[in-house]
Structure 1
Amino acid sequence: MPEKPRSDRITDLSRLKAFTNPLRIQLYRLLYAAGSATASQLAEQVDQAPSLVSYHLRKLAEQGFVTEASGRSDDGRQRWWQVASEEGWGFRESELTGTPEGAAAVDAVTKGLLESRDAQYRGYLGQSAAWGKEWTDAAFTSEWMLDLTAAELAEMEEELQAVSRRWRERGRAARTAGDTTGREHVTVHLYGFPFRP
């Protein structure tokens, strides 16, 4: 059985700290969706100076999250960027929170990701009518309350990762084959965490 692709798992605190800046999270997401882009193109989307965006892209590159996109520059003056891994990145909180500095970095990155996801979903809600009935009927938000052990929650996360990978590959294969009609970027946010009422 072939090994399943894995995300870039961050185990070094200095790498995680690259994402304590919310703009870097936003730039990484935009670059992931675009496939490749220049600092100037990204700067227009985040309403920042190209020099500032270029600085943050270099910082992400230093930590191995983005890389220059080869063969994209027409005249050598524009630097094209792409994400380094199509599988994205992730981390285990327990591997990085052994110190106050680690706990603070995990807290900042986790909250930054949550704020970014929230802003993305609120953006959709604010313009959902413009997407039309087909897309608004297909879009969903779900919440389930389950009784699980920590091991069962971890197993469920693995299953959800496998489902997500399968659908991502299906979309990529369709785009590669030229099947782009009606195809849009779709984001899915699922959270699984314990709580006590």
Structure 2
Amino acid sequence: MASKENRRITDMGTLKALAHPLRMRLYRLLYVNRTATASHLADQVDEAVSLVSYHLRKLADHGLIEQAEPQSGDGRERWWRPASDGLSIHDEDFSDAPEKVAAHTAASRLIYEQRSELYRRHLDARPHWSAEWKSASFDSEYLARLTAAELAELSGELHALLKKYDAKGRAAEAAGDSEGRENVALHVYGFPFRV
């Protein structure tokens, strides 16, 4: 990936480019696969290569993905990769106008819906995973009493811990240790609520 930093999305154009159901799926697949062609991705999302190519170009127009080094000898193939080590979208960047609030809310809902669908697929497939993976998988809910500052501190610590494990896994895989490794999704939400 070009940048080891998370890309913070701060403009409406980029937010709207990402907040399309197929584009978000394509970005996520590229993030997991590291590199792919439109035809590889089209097979995974069951869409036409021309449609996938169009949406990849839209993501590239906004700097979310970029061309990657070819992974095969076929010069006709265009390979893509994420342009950064992740994306972040913060409320404060979209809170100064009603249309920005609406766009951020719509994008957040789409992200949540796709994450929920990923977890639903896991629940349906869970009987087919090994006992080891079933035992390691978890879902948890914690209801804590925190201040906004404490929640922000917790978020920072969780992100640092997750980055540590991700870097450890990627380094091991780069060294050839890929046996037993699977893609793992970890969705963490921290938000205030009143009963």
TM-score, scaled relative to structure 1? 0.94
Map 1:20-59 → 2, pairs under 5 A: 20-59=19-58
Equivalent residue for 2:142? Answer: 144
RMSD over equivalenced CA pairs, Å:
1.1
Equivalent residue for 1:61? Answer: 60
Contact 2:31 / 2:82 at 8 angstroms: preserved in 1?
yes
Q: Once the two structures are aligned, what percentage of the paired residues are identical?
A: 49
Gapped regions of structure 2 (runs ≥ 5): none
Map 1:5-16 → 2, pairs under 5 A: 6-16=5-15
Q: Which moved more, 1:8-17 or 1:145-154?
A: 8-17
Q: Of the candidates 129, 132, 136, which is equivalent to residue 131 of structure 1?
A: 129
How many angstroms apart in 2 are the aligned matches of 1:161 and 1:77? 39
Report the AA paired with residue 40 of structure 2: Q
Q: Which moved more, 1:7-16 or 1:58-67?
A: 7-16
Equivalent residue for 2:165? Answer: 167
Gapped regions of structure 1 (runs ≥ 5): none
How many angstroms apart in 1 are the aligned matches of 2:134 and 2:148? 34
Q: Which moved more, 1:70-79 or 1:178-187?
A: 70-79
The question of 1:75 aligning with 2:71 is answered: no
User: Deviation digits for residues 7-40 of structure 1, max 9, x if unmatched?
Assistant: 1111112111112211111000111111111111
Equivalent residue for 2:176? Answer: 178
User: Deviation digits for residues 63-84 of structure 1, max 9, x if unmatched?
Assistant: 1110111132422111111111
Q: Which moved more, 1:177-186 or 1:67-76?
A: 67-76
Report the AA paired with residue 128 of structure 2: A
Deviation at 1:151, TM superposition (A): 0.8
Moved over 2 A (4+): none
User: Deviation digits for residues 109-148 of structure 1, max 9, x if unmatched?
Assistant: 1011001100110111101011111000000001100111
User: Deviation digits for residues 153-184 of structure 1, max 9, x if unmatched?
Assistant: 11110000000100000000100111111111
How many angstroms apart in 2 are the aligned matches of 1:29 and 1:79? 18
Contact 2:70 / 2:77 at 8 angstroms: preserved in 1?
no
How many angstroms apart in 2 are the aligned matches of 1:71 and 1:139? 35
